[in-house]
Structure 1
Amino acid sequence: MNEAMLLVLDEGTTSTRAMLYTPDGVRVGMAQRDLTQYYPRPGWVEQDATEIWERTLACAQEMVAQAGSADRILAIGITNQRETVVAWDRRSGRPLARAIVWQDRRTADQCQALRDAGHEPLIQARTGLVIDPYFSATKMRWLIDHEPAVAQAGDALALGTVESWLVWKLTGGLHISDASNASRTQLLALDGAGWDADLCALFDIPPAALPAIVDNAGDFGATCPDLLGGSIPICGLAGDQQAATIGQGCLVPGQAKATLGTGAFILAPVGDAPPRSDHRLLGTILCQLDGRRRYALEGSIFVAGSLVKWLRDALGLVGSAQETEALARSVPDSGGVSLLPALSGLGAPHWRPEARGVIAGLTQGTTRAHIVRAALESIAHQVHDLAGAFAADGAPWTSLRLDGGMSANDWIAQDMADMLDIAVERPADVETTARGAAMLAALGAGLHGSIEAAVAQLPGRQRFAPAMDAPVRADRLKAWGALLAASERALP
């Protein structure tokens, strides 16, 4: 391995990985470690921030060894699960409590109180986000209110999302957050340079505990030499969904990407003006480069890959995720079975945290194949709901680019094209989140003059054209709409 490499740290929800890329974006190595999730109460999801750090470091060290040495690494890019909150002590560098994961719903009552008090219009206007436990601010407040070590930390308290935590540990004390991650906290106005004083006051978050906000590409300091056998500059930072959008080359309106991972996250670029949604989508920062921001609309589906994991681990209907494609193909349709995958409530555009999962239409003729197919169909149904909301907000999709683990399933990709009635594209390497982080690191290290130049190197894609008859599509959407309506009626 003769040329310099880019090292990407891709810290996800269920695992953390380190990957090696060539400067032109070809992946040449990967190390991965699973991460433990804790569920102390229904709706609560936690992780051990020390475990995140130690396993991420182990992966990074493995990739540095593969590269030959630290001086073979030109720069590091970091991408991460967004909205997850870590609280730590600046003096010791140790976590003060378990991290609260983005999926966690414990602050639902706090969010409802904010809505009841009439704060949602202000929050949505400034941040582009609706009030929901998904976002970071109420998680931060919960930690301060309920974890004694956090409450007692005083000036030593540091709060941040996962990229902040990793940068702190890698550099020995640099406290920063990139603009894309910061835009998911509900503490940053879309058009504001720094943390919004009114929002910090509303959520009662001490600004001194928060990191400095930086670009997505640049020189962000370097790693402590003893960690990786040498000092390596950190030059790229981005939340996972923004990184995937860049890694898919989606930079202009009309293009959209869907990452099918634990959840499903759709982003569509809208230009350089902060977006405003009238259809319950999220306005977010796509990237900030040289202080200038590009924006996107986003729709977040909470359950996608985690639905298959539930079918496997909780119900025992499949032995592996790979079985689902063959099972879906083994029956001509779902046999009248419909599934509402609200295992963690419903995300955009419905935003019903109280919703619960439903399986309807069961008969004595129902088989596990029908249930599995209905589960996979529900992913495209949710994405179809989002496509309508994007179009109503003036951001219709002309194409959709898939990535993430579930996108490797050809049946899912084709079903998505059929239900949306547009072309769906998938790159040969679906690890576009890490690729986006590598492109940002290369940009920050000066290998490219612009993000467009980096995107120009992306390889080709496999195309799935719509092939479903309109009446079949209409029947499925009618059944889906009825299931949504019945679910809403069933709750008080």
Structure 2
Amino acid sequence: MTEKELVIKSDTEKEVVPLVAAIDVGTTSSRVILFNRLGQEISKHQIEYSTSASHSAYSASGERRLEENKTNGSSNEQTIFSAEGIAIEATEYLEIEDLEKDVEPTLRFPKPGWVECKPMNILENVVQCFAANLITMDRVNGDRVSNGLPPYRIKCIGIANMRETTLVWSKKTGKPLIDYGIVWNDVRTTEIVQKKKDETPEEYQEHLRELTGLPLFSTYFSCSKLRWLLDNIPEVTKAYEENDLVFGTVDTWLIANLTHNNVLVTDVTNACRTGFMNLNTKDYDDELLDYWNIDKAKIHLPKIVSSSEYYGNFVVPECTKKSLTSTAWDLLSAFSQRVPPVPIQGCLGDQSASLVGQLAFKPGSAKCTYGTGCFLLYNTGTTKLISKHGALTTFAYWFPQLENEENDYGKPHYALEGSVAVAGAVVQWLRDNLRLIPRAEDVGPLASAVPNSGGVVFVPAFSGLFAPYWDPDARATIMGMSQYTTASHIARAAVEGVCFQARAILKAMSSDAFGSEDKDFLEEVVDETYEKTLLSTLAVDGGMSRSDEVMQIQADILGPCVKVRRSPTSECTALGAAIAAAMAFKTDEERILWKNLKDVKKWVFYGGVEKGEKAPPSTTNDTDLKVFISKSSDKSRRKGWKMWETAIEKSKGWMNEIQLS
């Protein structure tokens, strides 16, 4: 297939190659990526956040940085480490927040267990990344036109974002009421959550779970974070009483600032994580708001909309001008005034975006993303399942413009989800705190230097246990050590700790999906129906998935019933946002890049050729595609699982026990 086949007539009747822009705001970085029809990255720019920890370390002394760079064989002083502990160096396409400037870092940790982000930094970083892509595209288009090739042109924009992170700002000014937001993995609301749980009868707890799909008594969700702000921050309380308070997650904040109409919206995949939305009505529920003592007459809540519809036209916010060069500002201003304007029309919470980017559209598809945390989603289609085994019920996506398509793709799709608070972050902990490895990439070889953990079990519950255990009082433990234990055993146990939690979540989901209370579907092939379901494959992406050694350990822990397939696309989350935006056009004629989800898979996975035909090598995205199959024996695998379950029980309730003593 040649690029000529991807060329279309633009609105000015000139030939162009259409692209979709994806804004992806994660816990530790922001990026903007331009995708073509093949799902290939045409341009990309990323800003990795500095943190209060890295800022303090830099301010105190440059010695540690120099020492780390020498260890890593790097001469570049602009090196920091990602949430997975991977060394990141500044390049033309990747910036690191400048630690030399006297500015607040985007992420800060003011107290143990507290995690905050700066909303203005996030907005400025997104705009800077967008500007960098426009600068790159302007340069590339100049070369393309001079060589007789049609230029690239952005058709629409989608957004993916970290969920549950809670921001508050003024309706009158549009500015944050406080200079920080509370990030999803912050645990400051533990007392609020525990008090609510103690005061709520079990029968009513189950009723609330039926409404939301969530175990509300966790610090994870937005509801307790908003309650904490109202109870503890005078500026927020004052705005609430004066009907000036706007609440939103990161998607709402970005869309409000980047659209011409400053529209206040959130999509279902984000709204369902607040604890305020009824899964059945797809709207805020008065009973839930009352439960958290929120008067909706005093607060401005974003309208809940689908994941794929027109929200507004892109504009560059005036408040970001000071952070941009004159060239960047001029390009963004011209882009904002383009005729016809470029719409923002796709929005997905990051894990739903990853599910879509993995092309896991069919019911029964499962995916696992290994990032700062570990997130596993199981697509249940249009069926809403309320888990009996500790998983969450969440929206996978909602693409209403596909209402007339086959397979119910236009209807809201649900998913079961399990979240592990600490995944790649445990690798960073091994590197920075224990100094067991010089680079995160070394954890796989170190863990694989031994055939097993030597009896060591590592429960990485640094901020409590998420699904399927839901114990905020649990804390990280390392058990089973002896004089035989080596650094390799500890590293392997740490990796296994993440993989065991993924197994626990998949076990819970399969039990919910197949309606069994007492069978472990990962150990027993009950019938041929199970063997033939798509649950037999777990699609994986994220930082840790790039390690062959780690993914083989995951496959060994899951056993022979589930094979692990690494995604061929490294940026699944951003690609999911791009797909959502492309699906928002109302007609096939307008949906130029992909007509429907089947067409997405045809182009992204198969290079545009029909099934059974062979695609030219240059058009396929299979460089990282790899399947891992279990090599573990039944005896060793089951023994390991028994050890894990025992360790989990011993790690539960730690904070509660010591507070009572």
Please state which band the TM-score falls in when normalised by the shorter chain.
over 0.9
Seq. identity, %: 36
Partner of 2:433: 314
Query: Which of 233, 244, 259 matches 1:147?
Result: 233
Greater Cα offset, 46-55 or 441-450: 441-450
Q: Does 1:126 align with 2:236?
A: no
Partner amino acid, structure 2, of 1:86: L
Are 2:310 and 1:219 aligned?
A: yes
Paired position in structure 2 for 1:337: 456
Check the 8 A contact 1:263/1:301 in 2, yes or no.
Answer: yes
* CA–CA distance in structure 2, aligned partners of residues 352 and 450 of structure 1: 41
Distance 1:128 1:456 in 2: 33
Whether 1:72 aligns to 2:142 is no
> Matches of 2:292 and 2:127 in 1, distance apart?
33
What are the residue-to-residue correspondences of 1:249-288 with 2, within 5 Å?
249-288=359-398
Aligned mates of 1:27, 1:248 — CA distance in 2: 15
C-alpha distance in structure 2 between counterparts of 1:64 and 1:201, whole Å: 46
Give the drift of 1:258.
0.3
Q: Does 1:192 align with 2:292?
A: no
Task: Indicate whether 1:135 and 2:221 are aligned.
Answer: yes
* SS at 2:253 equivalent: helix
| Corresponding residue of 2:115 | 45
Q: Which runs of 5+ in 2 are unaligned?
A: 4-15, 50-105, 142-150, 318-328, 337-341, 401-409, 515-520, 522-534, 586-590, 606-621
Offset, 1:165: 0.6
Aligned to 2:129: 59
**Residue 398 of structure 1: aligned partner:** 536
Structure 1 stretches of 4+ with a deviation exceeding 4 A read none
Map of 1:178 onto structure 2: 267
Q: Secondary structure at the match of 1:394?
A: helix
Counterpart AA for 2:632: M
1:160 has 2:251 as partner: no
What amino acid does structure 1 have at the position aligned with 2:399? L
Q: Secondary structure of 1:220's match?
A: strand
Q: CA RMSD in A?
A: 1.9
Greater Cα shift, 438-447 or 39-48: 438-447
Aligned to 1:31: 45
Deviates more, 1:14-23 or 1:112-121: 112-121
Does the aligned pair in 1 maintain the 2:37–2:603 contact within 8 Å? no
Task: Answer whether contact 2:474 2:653 (CA < 8 A) is retained.
Answer: no
Residue type of the partner of 1:189? Answer: N
Counterpart residue type for residue 353 of structure 1: P
Deviation at 1:242, TM superposition (A): 0.3
Letter of the 1:220 partner, please give it: Y
Q: Does 1:289 align with 2:399?
A: yes
Give SS of 1:284's match: strand
**Corresponding residue number in structure 1 for 2:89:** none
CA distance in 1, matches of 2:582, 2:304: 20
Give the Cα separation in 2 of the matches to 1:278 and 1:366: 38
Q: Distance in 2 between matches of 1:386 and 1:113?
A: 27
Task: Report the secondary structure of 1:472's partner residue.
Answer: helix
In structure 2, the CA distance between the partners of 1:238 and 1:360, relative to structure 1 (3 Å rule), is: same
Instruction: Write the distance in 1 (CA, Å) between the matches of 2:389 and 2:452.
Output: 31
Matching residue's letter, 2:252: S
Is 1:6 matched up with 2:23? Answer: no
- Tell me if 1:409 matches 2:512: no
For the pair 1:366 / 2:489, whether they are aligned, the reply is no
Give distance in 2, aligned partners of 1:196 and 1:293: 18
Tell me, yes or no, if structure 1 residue 454 matches structure 2 residue 600: yes
Aligned length: 492
Secondary structure of 1:322's match? helix
CA distance in 2, matches of 1:149, 1:489: 35
8 Å contact kept, 2:165–2:181 = yes
d(CA) in 2 for partners of 1:393, 1:190: 18
Instruction: Verify the 8 A CA contact 1:5 1:67 in the aligned structure 2.
Output: no
Q: Does the 8 A contact of 1:84 with 1:102 survive in 2? A: yes
**Aligned counterpart for 1:101 among listed residues 171, 183, 195:** 183
Please give the secondary structure, in 2, of the residue aligned with 1:285: strand
Max Rg structure: 2
* Aligned residues of 1:407 and 1:430 also touching (Cα < 8 A): no
Consecutive unaligned residues in structure 1, runs of 5 or more: none
- Matched-pair contact (CA < 8 Å) for 1:443–1:454: no
User: Per the alignment, in what secondary structure is the counterpart of residue 31 of structure 1?
Assistant: strand
Distance change in 2, residues 1:224/1:110 (3 Å):
same
For residues 18 and 489 of structure 1, what CA distance do their matches in structure 2 show? Answer: 41
Q: Is the 8 A contact 2:379 2:415 kept in 1?
A: yes
Shift of residue 359, structure 1, vs aligned partner: 1.0
Q: Does 1:92 align with 2:173?
A: yes
Render the CA deviation track for 1:431-479: whole Å, top value 9, x for unaligned: 2111111111111242333333323333253211121111111121122
1:486 aligns with 2:633: no
**Residue deviations 1:116-151, cap 9 Å, x none?**
222422220101000211001111111122111111
In structure 1, the partner of 2:62 is none
In 2, Cα distance between the equivalents of 1:71 and 1:429? 21
Report the counterpart of residue 428 of structure 1 in structure 2. 568
- Partner amino acid, structure 2, of 1:155: N
SS of match in other structure, 2:121:
helix
Find the residue that maps to 1:252 and give its secondary structure: coil
Is this contact kept in 2: 1:126–1:189, CA < 8 A?
A: yes
